[in-house]
Structure 1
Amino acid sequence: MKKRLISLALTLCLALSLGTTGVLAAQDETTALETVKVLGIMVGDENGNMNLSSQVTRAEFVKMMTAASSYKDTVGSGYGASLFKDVKSSHWASEYIKLGVEQGWFTGYVDGTFRPDNSITLEEGCTALLRLLGYDSGSLAGSSPTAQLSKAGAIGLLDDTTAMQGQTLTRQDCVTLFYNLLTAENSAGAVYGATLGYTITNGEVDYSTLVSSDTKGPYVASSGTLELPFSTDHVTVYRNGSASSLSAVKQYDVYYYNANLRTVWIYSNRVTGTLTAVSPNRAAPTSVTVAGTTYDIGTSTATYKLSSQGGFADGDTITLLLGMNGEVVDAISAQDSDTVYYGVVVASEKSASSSTTTVSDTASVQTATQVACSDGTTRTFYHDGSAFSTGRLVTVTVNSSGTTVKSLSSRSLTGTVSSDGTRFAGYDFAADAEILDTDSEGGYVRIYPSRLAGSKLTSDNVRYYTLDENGDIDHLILEKATGDTRTYVYVTEADKSVSDTSVSGTYTYLYKGASSTVSGSTAYNVSAGGAVLRYDGGSLRSIQQLTSAKLTQLSDLYAMAGNQKYLLDENVQVLLKDAGSSSGYYATTLSEINADDYSLVGWYDDMGCPAGGRIRIIVATAN
């Protein structure tokens, strides 16, 4: 049966909205600020505040320059040298000032002072940055400071800055200056940020690569606490992609941190089950199969533990701790971590082989049960006892005592999901809530609370739910709630023959652009157009026609048919009618069609699913 996982990619994004010039300017400011933060050029105070309106001193500016240079990792917090009578060796910035003077970025005053606490002016800052870029007096035309400001403007240092000649710089001004520094060309014609190893694309710093390169981890919270090299006051915490707090950390969570951003990412993803394979070999494993699913090994710790030296053998019940990309970070014994799964049975049968998947005279007879778990993953569990019928609601407990699979009685709720998808039947959804929609034909799909926003669910739709320690819904198993479990196709040919002695039919359809044909001694009541395949025991039972609507407006999220609004399936199939292709159609995308240049027909499901009724297929014909 069809299986679709709607996954949330954890990403770090920066205001991707389109709008007025003001909105775009705010987006650019956010990008620049986050960039200088992640590079450690500018950091917040003890409360995490950036204080962007505060003025910047000469000492603070030279420290920022150090962080924006190739010397950023060479200067520590120890004592430096006393080069100026107002900068003692014990001054917090003495090492930075010493470096700035040695590199020619800064000079002192004729009276032997540096004046570290003086606010720095625009022309002073630009002069220092030009020297960092390798521009000497010979590359400047005119007198100071006009020559320096003119050159700074020519290479883009002053883009989007508001400070004027003679004005002192604020921290906001420095955000812009240092971001521009990274994208400016040095005296040799190279983009400065690129010389430091940063990725610069189309004049912009690639923020995501900066975060990735400066993020440390993965680490495992073996004791249930995190070890961080910075104060945890006012730290930003994400758990499984949602805003959280350090109090949510649990034993064996996997975590990463970025010290400059003062941000921690925590993941509780883990899988417990029978170890059945390690590939390509035990000497140097790169992947492991547990509970019937194969995972890439991502750390040297996991590689060692799963190798022949690590102590785990085929048939052992173990727990894999997974990182942000689903890779194996560590492996521990199941006795250290009890795991409970909820889901529906996909297949279950007695097996004459052991859980090690080898056959021998002493192999015990076990039951192998495949379960579609609430996180959307199908896992295979080896256990004692009888086989389960397909579609049975079960719970699986894996611990040091082994694997236990038990049937669950229905536990239902009735109510309307809030319009923002955060609350249902008097309960909030947990930040990491797992929701599985199923049907009576073996289909299943993981969905997220937002998919159910505004939908009224009855006791027929809610099969089971659990609450976490906060009283929030953390597991929810549904039936026929969305219609997303079905396989939607576009029938291009429907030929059937019915006589007194025989019935036959041949049907050709497109699914995601690929053509298939089914034929046999069955005639379905369907014609060319959108349809849904219906199954029974894994075999095609019928082909059912969808309902069509002539679309008059189309966007990325919805379509209009006159005054009627239809939401689009996230994976809506778009076909362009083309007499030149073998099937008469070819697959295209939403961005390639519109309601002005094409005649559009949408096909939607009308099968009684409370969160269904979405456009599943759109056929476009050029006007």
Structure 2
Amino acid sequence: MKTKRITSAALALCLALSLCVGAQAAGSRQEALQALGILSGDDSLSSTVTRAQFAQMLTAASPYKDAAEGYGVSLFKDLKGDHWASGSVRVAIEQGWMTGYVDGTFRPDQAITLEEGCAALLKALGYDPSDLKGAYPAAQLSKASSVGLLDGVSAEQGAKLTRQDCVNLFYNLLTAKTSAGTVYGTALGCTVTNGQVDYSALVSAGTKGPYVADSAALSLPLTPTAVYCNGALSSLASVQQYDVYYYSANMGTVWVYRSRVTGTLTGLSPSAAAPTAVTVAGVSYQLGTSEAAYQLSSQGSFREGDLVTLLLGMNGEVVRVIDALENEAVYYGTVVSSAKGASTSSTTSSSTASAQVTTQVACTDGVVHTFYHSGSALSAGKLVTVSATQSGTTVRSLSAKKLEGAVSKDGTGLGNYRFADGVQILDTDENGGYVRIYPSRLAGVRLSGEDVRCYTLNADGEIDRMLLRNVTGDIQSYVYISRVEDNSMEMNVSVDYTYILDGQAQSLHSSAKYPVSTGGAALVYEKGSLKSIRQLTSVSLDSLSSLSAMGGGREYKLAEDIQVLLRDSTGGQGYYLTELSQVNGEDFKLTGWYDSLGFSAGGRVRIIVASPK
């Protein structure tokens, strides 16, 4: 039996996803400038930019941005010392980036033109006007174009700059080379690769946290314009006590994470004196703060055998440890294994040894948690709910709660119910096999009452957890049978099967003869033992993409963990694991093997064999 799970890397990605990650994403130039504090406010991108605003952007995009603070004197008669931009204007004048007018004014509210802006940015890059060929403004615009400042800028000579123009100009400034040949943005601490600013690094550098909410109200030095909770757009009203949060003042954004793990503390590494990782409910977590490290150290208040709750940050690291919250931790899942034995000092805080059940449960979050409890051992594949509180851990059988209907084509709901943000869906079988899936995997699929084993609703009446019965077929072990040797004699059945699984050749001797031949197949297990082998259906494929294949005028979806085997071109019978990107329909004869085994959301190509033409 093959057991699959999705790792907790989703936590590490939440921040990036909620921010429209990466400098390549639409609007990311604007977000990069916001992260650096170059672009502020919420004015429309189509609004014009004044000379004062441009001076402020220019100073913020320089190593002198801190020097602009505290200025109370102005060099110009139309710019008082208490003007909001007086400090920035003074820096821009002193550095020679901008100049005033001969009548002693700066004209802060006058719109800045393209040539004026380019002249200032070229000076910031270290280019002296005397070194430019030609006269103003043609010389400035020509040089600005050659160094890349005008990439993506639609304004022409004489045009008033808009905020969108400035987004492109200042982003290009960060990636442009100075007169000395260095990339300008590196002086501001930016990482620039292939002409792109590493946005995720900017966000990380400007993000403060982690902090823990001691109540339902956060202590913030800003009024946020955006709040995300576990990666989904939310509001401050959704904050709960013990949430972990981060904020960026430049971006006006708060990120809240409500990820907690409750269970028995069974180990510290490398030592209790100076731990860097903790094991709770059978899973190891890195310690992300000095507070958590102290709490779990020999000087702290927690010991092995204690029932604790870990408050996790955006990367799944431990931010703080608290006593197990009463009625807080409830898990739903399927039993992977369960055995009864004697308790130890690391599995209970009691000084008296007693019989104890150790049960591993694949929970709807895709993580296998280990629980220590009283009672009897449970059979693999049984659905359970686990409550972990200071009073102890209780594991109960989960009653069936069936549901049928079609999943919407956009994967947002099932039947009359919507899926909650972050809904947890676990596909399971009767033997403890499981795989964490996401709503998009079920989009457009009709589920019968037998497909849904159980589900729960949140306070808004949305499905927040769902346990399925082998709906996707993704739990199965798919192999390519390369040889079947039948050595049966009269009443004695003896068959040898050679198959390839994940590129490795394996052999199986069986006293049963299964109705399969050379080609793709699924190994079917029951209680840990092979029950049968079922043949997959073959199809000749004409073309491939990363998600699907075409064959005989029909489109076939590809399994996410598809196995692509390259057949030996020398005439041998060898098969070698390769990548999907390494084969195509022009150079190879492609044979796909898909499951037609009755899974409601199956029908995926599981194996492709590529033979050189």
Which TM-score band applies after superposition, normalised by the shorter structure? over 0.9
1:131: which partner in 2? Answer: 123
Matched to 2:44, the amino acid is N
Determine if the alignment matches structure 1 residue 35 to structure 2 residue 36. no
The answer to whether the Cα contact below 8 Å between 1:383 and 1:404 also exists between their aligned partners in 2 is yes
Determine if the alignment matches structure 1 residue 44 to structure 2 residue 36. no
Distance change in 2, residues 1:43/1:472 (3 Å): same
CA distance in 2, matches of 1:453, 1:586: 33
2:86: which partner in 1? Answer: 94
Q: Secondary structure of 1:3's partner?
A: coil
Match of 2:249 among 259, 269, 283: 259
Determine if the alignment matches structure 1 residue 297 to structure 2 residue 290. no
Q: Residue deviations 1:445-489, cap 9 Å, x none?
A: 111111111112112111111100000001101111111111111
Q: Secondary structure of 2:68's partner?
A: coil
2:267: which partner in 1? Answer: 277
Matched to 1:354, the amino acid is T
The answer to whether the Cα contact below 8 Å between 2:67 and 2:91 also exists between their aligned partners in 1 is no
1:187: which partner in 2? Answer: 179
2:48: which partner in 1? Answer: 55
Give 1:587 deviation, angstroms.
1.5
Match of 2:149 among 145, 148, 157: 157
CA distance in 2, matches of 1:218, 1:515: 48
Distance change in 2, residues 1:274/1:347 (3 Å): same
Q: Residue deviations 1:320-346, cap 9 Å, x none?
A: 111222111211110367110011111
Over the aligned positions, Cα root-mean-square deviation in angstroms equals: 2.4
Give 1:270 deviation, angstroms.
1.3
Q: Residue deviations 1:123-178, cap 9 Å, x none?
A: 22112112211122342223333322222222111222222222221111111111
1:3: which partner in 2? Answer: 3
How many pairs does the alignment contain?
A: 608
CA distance in 2, matches of 1:580, 1:219: 61
1:494: which partner in 2? Answer: 484
Distance change in 2, residues 1:273/1:70 (3 Å): same
CA distance in 2, matches of 1:274, 1:509: 42
Q: Which moved more, 1:173-182 or 1:261-270?
A: 261-270
Distance change in 2, residues 1:360/1:314 (3 Å): closer
Give 1:580 deviation, angstroms.
4.7
The answer to whether the Cα contact below 8 Å between 1:14 and 1:30 also exists between their aligned partners in 2 is no
Matched to 1:130, the amino acid is L
Matched to 2:223, the amino acid is S
CA distance in 1, matches of 2:441, 2:26: 33
Q: Residue deviations 1:508-562, cap 9 Å, x none?
A: 2222222222335444333221111222222333332212122233322222332
Match of 2:215 among 223, 226, 234: 223
Give 1:32 deviation, angstroms.
2.3
The answer to whether the Cα contact below 8 Å between 1:355 and 1:382 also exists between their aligned partners in 2 is no
2:68: which partner in 1? Answer: 75
Matched to 1:183, the amino acid is T
Matched to 1:276, the amino acid is T
CA distance in 2, matches of 1:229, 1:359: 42
2:170: which partner in 1? Answer: 178
| 1:568-587 alignment, distance < 5 Å | 568-580=558-570, 584-587=574-577
Q: Which moved more, 1:281-290 or 1:547-556?
A: 547-556
CA distance in 2, matches of 1:438, 1:305: 37
The answer to whether the Cα contact below 8 Å between 1:354 and 1:365 also exists between their aligned partners in 2 is no
CA distance in 2, matches of 1:276, 1:16: 37
Matched to 2:310, the amino acid is L
Match of 1:415 among 405, 428, 442: 405
Matched to 1:462, the amino acid is V
Identical aligned pairs, as a percentage? 58
The answer to whether the Cα contact below 8 Å between 2:343 and 2:355 also exists between their aligned partners in 1 is yes
Output the TM-score relative to the length of structure 2.
0.94
CA distance in 2, matches of 1:487, 1:253: 39
CA distance in 2, matches of 1:380, 1:16: 34
CA distance in 2, matches of 1:350, 1:156: 69
The answer to whether the Cα contact below 8 Å between 1:338 and 1:398 also exists between their aligned partners in 2 is yes
CA distance in 2, matches of 1:618, 1:431: 35
Determine if the alignment matches structure 1 residue 198 to structure 2 residue 190. yes
Distance change in 2, residues 1:2/1:474 (3 Å): same
Matched to 1:32, the amino acid is R
Q: Residue deviations 1:80-102, cap 9 Å, x none?
A: 21222222111111111121122
| 1:390-539 alignment, distance < 5 Å | 390-500=380-490, 502-539=492-529
Q: Secondary structure of 1:385's partner?
A: coil
Distance change in 2, residues 1:466/1:355 (3 Å): farther
CA distance in 2, matches of 1:605, 1:86: 77
1:140: which partner in 2? Answer: 132
Q: Residue deviations 1:173-225, cap 9 Å, x none?
A: 11111111111111111110122221111122222222222222222222122
Give 1:496 deviation, angstroms.
2.7
1:104: which partner in 2? Answer: 96
Q: Residue deviations 1:300-353, cap 9 Å, x none?
A: 121111111221100000011112221112111103671100111111111112
Q: Which sections of structure 2, spanning at least 5 residues, go unmatched?
A: none
Q: Secondary structure of 1:530's partner?
A: strand
Output the TM-score relative to the length of structure 1.
0.92
Matched to 1:187, the amino acid is S
Q: Which moved more, 1:591-600 or 1:356-365?
A: 356-365
Determine if the alignment matches structure 1 residue 547 to structure 2 residue 540. no
Q: Secondary structure of 1:308's partner?
A: coil
Determine if the alignment matches structure 1 residue 286 to structure 2 residue 283. no
Matched to 2:472, the amino acid is T
1:610: which partner in 2? Answer: 600
1:241: which partner in 2? Answer: 231
Matched to 2:138, the amino acid is T
2:109: which partner in 1? Answer: 117
Q: Which moved more, 1:308-317 or 1:196-205?
A: 196-205
Q: Which moved more, 1:467-476 or 1:586-595?
A: 586-595
Match of 2:303 among 293, 307, 313: 313
Q: Secondary structure of 1:503's partner?
A: coil
The answer to whether the Cα contact below 8 Å between 1:352 and 1:359 also exists between their aligned partners in 2 is no
Give 1:229 deviation, angstroms.
2.1
Give 1:27 deviation, angstroms.
7.3
Q: Which moved more, 1:291-300 or 1:505-514?
A: 505-514
CA distance in 2, matches of 1:64, 1:237: 25
Q: Secondary structure of 2:400's partner?
A: coil
CA distance in 1, matches of 2:536, 2:26: 48
